[in-house]
A = this chain, B = another copy of it.
Amino acid sequence: MQDVFSKLGPLIIGSRLKRMSDYIMRAGAEFYTSKGVDFEPKWFPLYYLLSHEKELGIMDIAQKLNISHPAVIQLAKELEKKGWVTSTKSKEDARKRLLKLSKKGISLLPQLQLIWDDIREVNRQVVESQSTNVLKALEEMEVFFASKSYTERMKEFQDSKKK
């Protein structure tokens, strides 16, 4: 992705973010394997969330993780198969199925913590090497679009041109 694309600059922010994200996620997967832990990066958000929140319904999780609810069901299915997560029907609301970490899931935590510490440390090295901090940049983008969405900004730009 050099030469031709170097001049594109802002036009391909999306693709470049995706490429870097894929790269990091893949490296993360490698790392779990190298440590002999049968854990996949995609499980992290759900697992981590449950490790902090005791019990949560499918939709609550989907919202907190900002993914679709079928994705949550799928991830939960995998973690249940591993025996790390169990579910119970809610007594207050019969529609809800509550997820939580099983004992086995909780007992795995310390081992994962160590790995997460390592990942965090290397990521910190990345960030510290930067004169321009990627996390800060992301933070700023999130705030920027929270105040007004990309699509809205597009519309406004269109209108401003017409004048």
Taking Cβ atoms with an 8 Å cutoff, the residues of A that contact B are: 1-5, 8-25, 27-28, 30-31, 34, 41, 44-45, 48-49, 52-53, 64-66, 116, 118-127, 129-138, 140-142, 144-145, 149-151, 153-154, 157-158
Determine whether the beta carbon of B10 is less than 8 Å from that of A120. yes
Quick check: B153 and A122 within 8 Å, CB to CB?
A: yes
Task: Establish whether residues A135 and B10, one from each chain, have CB atoms under 8 Å apart when the complex forms.
Answer: yes
Question: A138 contacts which of B66, B121, B134, B158 (Cβ < 8 Å)?
Answer: B134
Interface of A, secondary structure class, is helix
Q: How far is the CA of A20 from the CA of B15 in the complex (A)?
A: 10
Q: Are A120 and B9 in contact (CB under 8 A)?
A: yes
CB distance from A122 to the nearest CB of B (A): 5
Which B residue sits closest to A138, measured CB to CB? B16
